[in-house]
Structure formats: structure tokens, C-alpha cells
Amino acid sequence: MRREASRVSARPDNGMAARLAGWGRWALRWPLWFIELFTWSKSFRKNRILGSYWLNRCGLHLLRVILSQLLFRFRLLLLAPLVPAGDRRTFLRDGYLLKRDFLPPEQFARLRHEIEAYQGPIREFVEGTTLTQRAFMTAAVRRDLPELTAFADGPQLDRLMRWCSSKNRPPFFFIENLCNHANVAPKPDPQRDFHTDTFHPCVKAWLFIDAADERNGPHVYVPGSQRLSWARLRWEYRESLEASKRGKARQPGRYWDGSFRVDAADLKRMGLEPKALHVPANTLLIGNVYGFHRRGEASAPSQRMTVWMQARDNPFNPLFTPLPRLTARLFEWVWQRELLRQDKKKIASGAQRNFFGHFSRERS
């Protein structure tokens, strides 16, 4: 009886110890969560300050959105000499730039041949009915790909990306190959819904190796959606409150964790209309992915290959880097290690496979 009583009396102590340990872990996270307020961190789920319903009711999310936009415009103003005035006006008005026949035909043909012949490490994962294959083209990898190096180091692309990103830094480079209707067990595809990548202006770009049309799915952008209208601010406020809800209180079937989805009714209320960008091969598209965009539906089994670029930085840094090449290498080094860290979890879960070889380029 004494042993039984001692076991019973120990249970509350064990429970209390577990609660104290849990509170200790939470206490250690709060300083990190606070620091993340001043970075590109966007997760309402992982950061309890960013995901606080009452703080967002008081305007925390809106404050971050507005401040990041003001600093973005300030940096663009400082970097204005990098690009012609016409390109600046178009980008600020529409949220994207299209440059058809970006490379001389002979150079583009050599680049296309080099990319299609690429053999090396490839990450592959499924998004809806699309099989996405992607290879990270670090500076070390590009040394063995002279045509890709010539494209990446070209002065026109360099100036455009340094200005559009507002950070004066070259982007990350990937080769991306989308295999449409390649998945026999379709899953929800987050790329097919209109969305904004994050709460602040940032840039992605694509040099289309294949033409983009209805057959292989054009990129769809909502012109002007990157601007902070009163209607957009009201929408951001409502979405931040929804994103801050927990458990069953949160609307199902939406992707809330810092990358908000928008439906047709919301776009109409904001006076916005999508535009499918049907473009020929050798077109450069640079888009501010704070604006609403999505991957267009593909009507047939097909591929769409691009050189895919991304430029994202701390939106609350009021200045741009004076050392673009050096900082690009530093960010590339950090991102390479982050990708390797993510690989372990994604491969273990079955969400991704990594292999060494060629991109899938069979055409139906």
C-alpha cells in the first residue's frame, strides 16, 4: 500500500515537472520570436507573436506590411540609376516586367542546349498533378556551364535584378522543369491558387526555355496587385485575423502560414483582374511576388522549363548592399545549407526525392 501511495503521489510532481519544462522552452522562444518581427519571418503558426490574434487586431501585420513597402520604395529610389525610367514605371505600375527576345538567338540556342544536356543533382517533388524538378545553380556549378554563367553575369539581367529586388544583390539561380499531368495520384496544388508569397515586396524571375501557353500552363499575374490600395490593406487585415485563429476556428482548405490565398470574389472587390502571360521562349519575366499570382492550368501532358531566379532579403533593412557579388555568394552559401537541412526531412517523409541525372524532357 505504501509503494502504491508513493506512485500516486509522484504523478502530480511528474506532471508539474513536464509543465515547468514546457514553460521553460516557451520562455526561451519568446526572445527569438521578438527578433523575428524585424526579419522576413512570416509564419503565423511557428511564431506566437506574429500569430497573436490580439496583436494583429491592433495592426501588427498591417504595420509590417506598410513599413516594408515604404522601405522597398526608398531603396528603389536610391537604386533608380540602374535601369531605364520606362522599366521603372512599368514595374511599379504592373508589378512585373516582360522582356521578349531577351538574349540574342544564337546565345539562347546555346543556353537551351546546355541546360537540356545538364547532368547533376536534381530535387524532385509533386505539386498537384505537376512533377517539379529543380537544380540549384550555385556559382561553383555554373563554372562548368559557360552559357548559364554568361546569362547570369550579363549586365542587363544584373542591373534589372539588383533594382527590382531593391537590395542591389544578384539572385539565386535554379533550373526548373515542370512536368504537367505527370502525377497519377493528384494532391492539392498550392501553386494553382492565387496567392502572395509573403507580406513584403520580393522578386522572382523566369527566363523561359520553353514557350508558355495553355498547353503547358502560363504564369498568371494580377497586374497592380502589388500596390497598397485601401482595399488591399483591408484584405490584409482580415486575412491576418483569420491566420491568427487556432484549430477548428481557422477556415479549412486555405494556406495561411504567411502566404495568403485570394479568391475571385476578393479580387473583384479590390478591382483587380488576372492576366495570363502567354510568352514565347527566350522571354524574361521579373515579378514582384507580393502581388497575386499563380501557376496556370496545363491542358495537356507537357513540360515547361525555365531558368528560375529568386531574390529575397530582410525587408526592414533600409539600405542596400554596397557589395553585391560578395553578399550574393554569402546568401548562396547559407541557402545551400538550408536546402540540405530541408532535404533530410522532406526525403524522410516521402515528399521529395533527390537524384543525379538529367531533367525529364520527353514530350507527348
**Cα–Cα dist 304/134, whole Å:** 12
Identify the pLDDT of residue 102: 98
Predicted TM-score of the model (pTM): 0.89
pLDDT in tens, 151-194: 999 999 999 999 999 999 999 999 999 999 887 666 777 888 99
4, pLDDT greater than 60: no
Neighbours of 195 (CB within 10 A): 18
pLDDT band with cut points at 50, 70 and 90 for residue 364: very low
- Calculate mean pLDDT across residues 92-97: 98
3-state secondary structure at position 288: strand
**Cα–Cα dist 24/29, whole Å:** 9
pLDDT in tens, 48-61: 999 999 999 999 99
**Cα–Cα dist 147/236, whole Å:** 42
6, pLDDT greater than 60: no
Q: ∠363-213-357 over CA atoms, to 5°? A: 35
Q: Which residues pair with 276 in a beta bridge?
A: 220
355 contacts 122 by C-beta, under 8 angstroms: yes
DSSP codes joined into one string, 114-163: HHHT--EEEEEEEETTEEEEEEE--HHHHTT-HHHHHHHT-HHHHHHHHH
pLDDT band with cut points at 50, 70 and 90 for residue 19: low
222, pLDDT greater than 90: yes
**Cα–Cα dist 188/73, whole Å:** 35
Q: Which of 203, 144, 152, 150 is nearest to 173 (CA)?
A: 152
290, pLDDT greater than 90: yes
Mean pLDDT of all residues belonging to the chain: 90
